[in-house]
Amino acid sequence: MTARQQHALLALTHVSRVHGTGATEVRALRDVSFEVAPGELVALMGPSGSGKSTLLHVAGGLDQPTGGSVAVDGTDLSSLGQAERARLRRTTIGYVFQDFNLIPALTAEENVALPGELHGLRSGEAREAARAALAELGVADLADRFPDDLSGGQQQRVAIARAVAGERRLILADEPTGALDTSTGEQILRLLRERCDAGAAGVLVTHEARHAAWADRVVFLRDGVVVDEADAGLTGLAGMTGAR
Amino acid sequence: MGAWLRGWRPLLRLAWRDVRRARARSALVLALVALPVLAVTTALVLTATADVTGDEAPERRLGAADARIRVEGLARVGQTADPDRGSAFGEGLRDDLTLAGVGDVLGREVRGIEWESTELSVLVDGRGVRAAGEWIDLRDPLTTGLATLDEGRLPEAPGEVMVNRALADRGPGVGETLTLVDGSTLEVVGVGEDAESRAFPHLWSPQRPDGVPEAQGTTWLVEAGPVTWDEVRALNDRGAFVLSRAVLADPPSAAELHPEVSDGEADDALVAAVVLIVVMVLIEVVLLAGPAFAVTARRQARTLALMAAVGATPAQARRAVLAVAVVLGGLAAVGGVVLGIGLAAALLPFLARWSGSYPGPFDVPWALVLGVACCGLLAALLAAAAPAWLASRADVVAVLAGRRGDAAPSRRSPVLGLLLFAAGVALAVAGTRQDSYGENWVALAAVVCVLGMVLLVPVVLGLLARLGARLPLPLRYAVRDAVRHRTRTVPAVAAVAATVCGVVALGISTSSDAAQSRETYTPQLRHGEAVLVASEATPEQWERAEEVLRAELPEADVSVVTGVPAPTGEGDVHVAYRPPATSEDTWLLGGVGSTLGTTDVVAERIPAALRGLDAAGRARGDAALAQGRVVVFTDEPVEADRVVVTATSYDGRSGEEEVLADEVTLPAAYVVVAEDGGTPFAVLPPASAEELGLPVATTSLHVAGAELDRDRERAVSEAVAATLPWSHLYVERGYFADDFDELVAWVLGALGAVLMVGGTLTVTLLALSDARPDLATLSAVGASPRTRRAVAASYALVVGGTGAVLGALVGFVPGVAAAVTLTRDSYAGPQQVVGPFVEVPWLMIAVVVLLLPLLTAGVVALATRSQLPLVARVD
């Protein structure tokens, strides 16, 4: 085990994910291994259907690998039951989606407080944590608005607040800027970068090379296989064309 | 617990918001749950209010008195707080308790007035009308509250009378004269109303008119200070029933009652029936509301997946759907109860006007109402249970990726369904073999069969989808879509099926019941003939009645039947017949009839009215009577020419028995009669009756050759009642179906049709709103508006048709079982079992299975908008 693996908050080891059997078999991930350490933001790039989203779902315990293992904060997810994996998503892992995915029936603050309330925190406690997270992301004034009344950038900030609220340390972002204009997208990525600099581990799935530049490392996926892995600074734009 | 409850808070909040966003769907569930709650609550409140019990409105029965004391000459009695629930104990009779005696028992001075009640007949337009006579001085303050005076004044002297509106409207008003059937007259001085009833003619006078027979027993209203339960017991020991104001207000506990007197235990069969009805209503509501929750869960799928992404467990996802049920069920239960109580209050005045009696104070039976509300909440929770369970098993990743995340259908539930269905069939078969309560078994079997059927619906739909490949596009689309959206289709199909199952089962059992009644109907007389019977009539009254009959029915042949009078309250004479050298308990006839007002006819010829014997038998009988022989009727031939007769008389007042004839042997002829003839024991020649010391009187008047339709029957009855107050004219018309049974069948059928059409429409409209993107795609690729209507109609046809066929098939199980149970013990004669009868109402089943689904499909096709706003496919 390397030092990086030892300290990794997320460690995927020889992970594969096969959907269906026989003629309908689809190998979404094949022997994928990589780690993300605290303070690190890893960009995951690849063309459509390369397995990026599947990898993110597997990493967060929403989906189960058919081979290999996924460890979050040193805990092998396959050793956990469904309820314990759910618990991990309430306490350790935060998801950010391309289309924000806020629950329309809840206000911004309630959306952010939801994991805490589901975890059984007192309503006041969960809301306090939510307000803190919203303030950190600069949207404290939007706390009482419903998602439908927020712009895309505002919604995504709230979604990130939901992903980081309550000291969660692994942020899994699936094209968080895909539905945003360029400058708003940059702001969102800056926020993610800041969270990672503050000690969180981040995985950023993206199509765009300039977004990958915010990452410490870039992992390239194609047809479910890691084809390249490089430090973001070094890659520059190498392989970006392939990713596109 | 605190954390668990806290876990519900965000889910309930989410549910509340969802309910407010999806108004139409929420309104549908609210209506489905609230309407039954409302209906039952209204019924409970109206029943409880109409039922004047306990210390509700005591003045209606007591006036201003402290107690109402009644002695009937019994030695010792027992009662509950209400003497209407009481009974006599011990042997013998006693007639010695007086008002002074009551004072002695209570140990204090008692003031009281006597109150006599009898029924009597008054003459209105020359016809007899029955009325309740209250012989009490209403001017006495103790009577305050028993009756009200609306017009004129209270009667003060004997011969003066107050009548109620029901009587005044038919007869004399204030200042006019009221004539009783004996010809005596009373002067009407006032019109008023009884506090309890106003439908029946009532009259009040301080003193019973001389022509009216004396009432049995004596009643006093007494002023004696509060009469305690101990004092009531003491008076019970002296043979008096006591209605005490103090005891009504503070009734004794069950332990303080005499063991043989109870407050009325719940009837087991009734409880079972109520439980079954509640279960069936619950199932129906659950099945009808199920599709709405299925759509709710589908609409929530993305929210649930998002929740899972932020760490919600499957249990929390399940609760998120259930929370919608909690919110809607709670609202519906509370709303149903509140509206139900309000509706009852609003209906009360109309009901009171219509029913002819006065309701008690407004009374809400809270415990029952609460139970109903809980049932409403439970129904919503059960309706949401399956969608919630499926939602929690959905594939989160698939839903987040914008695909449908339905979990694979359970393989276990169809097996469980088959097992349940088999258990239902077994229960039904077992029910038909029970000696008693078999119908409860069958009802339980119906519930179990329906539950099994619900689990089998997905299998049936799956089969249908497989067969659907060759169907035209609209039907194929509808079948496939129905199967794809199992969670909303299955409960709807099951709801329709459960309804049809109930309708078919009831239809089979009622038509079989009717078949039994028709097949085993025993006419009392020859068709078209009539007989007039009366109790306690004098010979003069009989003569006058005969004259009336001849006058009213000039074309008829009226004959007098004489015999040993039928038993009355005053006593009776029992005559037993057996061939010599047989035991004392020998029965010659399996069924004895007293159609002619007697079981022992005394005549010189066999009365023409007697049926059940052929011409040869009649000739033999007439010949025997001419020889002075007793004609004894028998089921089986008897080889004897003598009969041993024993006659006993019983005095109803003293309870004493006297043997009139002990084992007297007389010459006789035995005549075999048809088993269902309803013939008397024997026809005695007058000389033999005299020899035996039997009382002989006119017992009935037989009418033949008259055209008696119902109007003429009523006219003749009332004309006769003017001379014979307690008479009854029976006209033989053969078997005819009971109007009420038919009405019930129609109401049930209509209710079933409404439920069936409603269920089909509900799910079809939900499906159509759910399928808008698909339909938009259909339009986009060139489907005509007509295709869209056809798809909608096909959807209704698939749901309604599948449900109806399945329900009809399943309905045969409890239907046939109930028919067998109800009609197994059918007798054409004492020994001739002709049951069971099973008659299937094919026409009704055809209407339900074929016509109703087609009708619903037609309605849907007409109601569907053919133009569809273009809908983008948004997940």
Task: Inspect the interface and report whether the beta carbons of A120 and B3 lie closer than 8 Å.
Answer: yes
Chain B: nearest CA to A77, how far in angstroms? 14
Residue A237 belongs to some domain of the structure = no
Task: Inspect the interface and report whether the beta carbons of B10 and A83 lie closer than 8 Å.
Answer: no
Tokens encoding B597: 């007002």
Those residues with Cβ within 8 angstroms of residue A219's Cβ, 6 or more apart along the chain or in another chain: A34, A42, A43, A44, A45, A226, A228, A229
Work out the angle between the directed axes of helices B366-392 and B268-299 (0-180°, nearest 10): 40
Which candidate from B7, B313, B397 shows the least CB-CB separation from A62? B397
pLDDT in the model for residue B418: 92
For residue B1, pLDDT beyond 80:
no
Helices (H), B310-395: 314-355, 366-392
Contact B668, B707 (CB under 8 A): no
Tokens encoding A11: 């460690």
CB crowding B565-604: b at 16 or more within 10 Å, else e: bbeeeebbbebbbbbeeeeeeeebbebebbbbbbbbbbbe
pLDDT in the model for residue B810: 92
Cα separation, B133 vs B161, in Å, equals: 10
Task: Inspect the interface and report whether the beta carbons of B7 and A118 lie closer than 8 Å.
Answer: yes
For an interface test with B, the pick among A58, A114, A122, A168 (most B C-beta atoms closer than 10 Å) comes out as A114
The whole-angstrom distance between residue B375's C-alpha and the CA centroid of its chain comes to 23
**Region B690-705: what's the mean pLDDT?**
88
**Region B57-68: what's the mean pLDDT?**
84
Which candidate from B14, B18, B308 shows the least CB-CB separation from A62? B308
Residue A71 belongs to some domain of the structure = no
Write out the residue range of the structural domain in which residue A141 sits. 102-168
3-state secondary structure of A14: strand
In which region does residue A18 sit, left (phi positive, over 0), alpha (psi from -120 to 50) or beta (all else)?
beta
Residue A18 belongs to some domain of the structure = no
A102 contact residues in B (CB cutoff 8 A): 306
Least confident residue range of A149-153, B556-560, B783-787: B783-787
Task: Inspect the interface and report whether the beta carbons of B311 and A119 lie closer than 8 Å.
Answer: yes
Per-residue pLDDT tens digits for A94-123: 888 887 778 877 889 988 888 888 888 888
A114 contact residues in B (CB cutoff 8 A): 10, 307, 310
Residue A85 belongs to some domain of the structure = no
**Region A131-144: what's the mean pLDDT?**
89
B307 and chain A: CB distance < 8 Å anywhere?
A: yes
pLDDT in the model for residue B676: 63
For residue A159, pLDDT beyond 50:
yes
> What is the average pLDDT value for chain A, to the nearest integer?
84
Chain B: nearest CA to A236, how far in angstroms? 31
Chain B: nearest CA to A4, how far in angstroms? 27
Task: Inspect the interface and report whether the beta carbons of B306 and A60 lie closer than 8 Å.
Answer: no
B69 DSSP β-pair partners: B220, B242
pLDDT in the model for residue B276: 67
Task: Inspect the interface and report whether the beta carbons of A62 and B311 lie closer than 8 Å.
Answer: no
CB crowding B415-441: b at 16 or more within 10 Å, else e: eebeebbebbbebbbebbeeeeebbbb
3-state secondary structure of B127: strand
Q: How far is CA B679 from CA B115, B364, B617, B653, in A?
A: 44, 53, 13, 30
**Region B567-577: what's the mean pLDDT?**
78
Nearest residue in chain A measured CA to CA from B19: A105
B7 contact residues in A (CB cutoff 8 A): 117-118, 120
For an interface test with A, the pick among B6, B16, B310, B313 (most A C-beta atoms closer than 10 Å) comes out as B310
**Region A179-200: what's the mean pLDDT?**
86
B403 and chain A: CB distance < 8 Å anywhere?
A: no
Please tell me which residue, B213 or B616, carries the higher pLDDT value: B616
For residue B763, pLDDT beyond 50:
yes
Closest among B694, B546, B688, B666 to B604, alpha carbons compared: B688
- Using pLDDT thresholds of 50, 70 and 90, give the confidence band for residue A37: very high
- Using pLDDT thresholds of 50, 70 and 90, give the confidence band for residue B677: low
Chain A: nearest CA to B374, how far in angstroms? 27
Cα separation, B831 vs B32, in Å, equals: 52
Task: Inspect the interface and report whether the beta carbons of A162 and B310 lie closer than 8 Å.
Answer: yes
- Using pLDDT thresholds of 50, 70 and 90, give the confidence band for residue B269: low
Q: Can you give the C-alpha Rg of chain B in angstroms?
A: 36
CB crowding A81-115: b at 16 or more within 10 Å, else e: eeeebbbbbbbbbbbbbbbbbbbebbbbbbbbbbb
Task: Inspect the interface and report whether the beta carbons of A83 and B313 lie closer than 8 Å.
Answer: yes
The whole-angstrom distance between residue B311's C-alpha and the CA centroid of its chain comes to 56
Helix or strand (DSSP H, E) at A221: strand A217-222
Q: What are phi and psi of A90, to 5 degrees?
A: -80, -25
Helices (H), B657-784: 686-692, 710-721, 739-770, 772-780
pLDDT in the model for residue B873: 38
The whole-angstrom distance between residue B90's C-alpha and the CA centroid of its chain comes to 35
Task: Inspect the interface and report whether the beta carbons of B310 and A94 lie closer than 8 Å.
Answer: yes
Task: Inspect the interface and report whether the beta carbons of A114 and B13 lie closer than 8 Å.
Answer: no
Chain A residues with CB within 8 Å of chain B CB: 53-54, 57, 60, 62-63, 82-83, 86-91, 93-95, 97, 101-106, 110, 113-115, 117-123, 162
Centre a 10 Å sphere on the Cβ of residue B397 and count the other Cβ atoms it contains. Answer: 21
pLDDT in the model for residue B440: 79
For residue A233, pLDDT beyond 60:
no
B616 and chain A: CB distance < 8 Å anywhere?
A: no
Cα separation, B630 vs B609, in Å, equals: 18
Chain B: nearest CA to A237, how far in angstroms? 29
pLDDT in the model for residue A41: 93
pLDDT in the model for residue A210: 85
Tokens encoding B235: 């008076």
pLDDT in the model for residue B356: 66
Cα separation, B624 vs B613, in Å, equals: 15
Cα separation, B364 vs B41, in Å, equals: 9
Which candidate from B17, B18, B312 shows the least CB-CB separation from A118? B312
Task: Inspect the interface and report whether the beta carbons of A118 and B311 lie closer than 8 Å.
Answer: yes
Residue A126 belongs to some domain of the structure = yes
pLDDT in the model for residue B869: 46
For residue A242, pLDDT beyond 50:
no
Upstream peptide bond of B836 is cis (omega within 30 degrees of 0): yes
In which region does residue B159 sit, left (phi positive, over 0), alpha (psi from -120 to 50) or beta (all else)?
left
Cα separation, B282 vs B279, in Å, equals: 5
Residue B199 has what DSSP assignment?
S
Tokens encoding A40: 């690190």
B17 and chain A: CB distance < 8 Å anywhere?
A: yes
For residue A11, pLDDT beyond 90:
yes
Per-residue pLDDT tens digits for B117-127: 888 888 887 77
B311 contact residues in A (CB cutoff 8 A): 86-91, 93, 115, 118-119
pLDDT in the model for residue B238: 82
> What is the average pLDDT value for chain B, to the nearest integer?
82
Nearest residue in chain B measured CA to CA from A171: B310
Centre a 10 Å sphere on the Cβ of residue A1 and count the other Cβ atoms it contains. Answer: 9
Per-residue pLDDT tens digits for B297-311: 877 888 888 888 888
Residue A62 belongs to some domain of the structure = no
pLDDT in the model for residue B426: 93
Nearest residue in chain A measured CA to CA from B303: A103
Residue A57 belongs to some domain of the structure = no
pLDDT in the model for residue A69: 92
For residue B405, pLDDT beyond 90:
no
Amino acid (1-letter code) at residue B572: D
Task: Inspect the interface and report whether the beta carbons of A89 and B14 lie closer than 8 Å.
Answer: no
Query: Could you tell me how many residues make up chain A?
Result: 244
- Using pLDDT thresholds of 50, 70 and 90, give the confidence band for residue B741: low
Task: Inspect the interface and report whether the beta carbons of B14 and A105 lie closer than 8 Å.
Answer: yes
For residue B483, pLDDT beyond 60:
yes
**Region A34-40: what's the mean pLDDT?**
91
B302 contact residues in A (CB cutoff 8 A): 101
Contact B487, B390 (CB under 8 A): yes
Cα separation, B27 vs B33, in Å, equals: 10
Task: Inspect the interface and report whether the beta carbons of B10 and A103 lie closer than 8 Å.
Answer: no
Task: Inspect the interface and report whether the beta carbons of A106 and B13 lie closer than 8 Å.
Answer: yes
Which candidate from A89, A120, A121 shows the least CB-CB separation from B310? A89
Which candidate from B21, B307, B401 shows the least CB-CB separation from A118? B307
Please tell me which residue, B657 or B807, carries the higher pLDDT value: B807
Task: Inspect the interface and report whether the beta carbons of B311 and A162 lie closer than 8 Å.
Answer: no
Q: DSSP characters for B614-645? A: -HHHHHHHHHHHHTT-EEEEESS----SEEEE
Per-residue pLDDT tens digits for B189-208: 999 988 887 778 889 998 88
Closest among B656, B68, B8 to B320, alpha carbons compared: B8
3-state secondary structure of A125: helix
Please tell me which residue, B101 or A202, carries the higher pLDDT value: A202
Closest among B563, B670, B562, B672 to B613, alpha carbons compared: B672
Task: Inspect the interface and report whether the beta carbons of B307 and A87 lie closer than 8 Å.
Answer: no
Residue A97 belongs to some domain of the structure = no
For residue B752, pLDDT beyond 50:
yes
pLDDT in the model for residue B407: 64
Nearest residue in chain A measured CA to CA from B399: A62
In chain A the first and final C-alpha atoms are separated, in Å, by 33
Q: What are phi and psi of B391, to 5 degrees?
A: -60, -40
Chain B: nearest CA to A83, how far in angstroms? 5
pLDDT in the model for residue A238: 41
Those residues with Cβ within 8 angstroms of residue B63's Cβ, 6 or more apart along the chain or in another chain: B142, B143, B144, B145, B146, B221
Block residue for tokens 């995951």: A44
Closest among B7, B44, B16, B10 to B329, alpha carbons compared: B16
A110 contact residues in B (CB cutoff 8 A): 10, 13
Which candidate from B10, B18, B310 shows the least CB-CB separation from A90? B310
- Using pLDDT thresholds of 50, 70 and 90, give the confidence band for residue B872: very low
Q: How many domains does chain A divide into?
A: 1
Sign of CA dihedral B40, B44, B46, B47: positive
Nearest residue in chain A measured CA to CA from B5: A120
Nearest residue in chain B measured CA to CA from A109: B10
pLDDT in the model for residue A236: 45
B400 contact residues in A (CB cutoff 8 A): 57, 62, 97, 101
Contact B117, B128 (CB under 8 A): no
Per-residue pLDDT tens digits for A38-54: 999 999 998 888 888 88
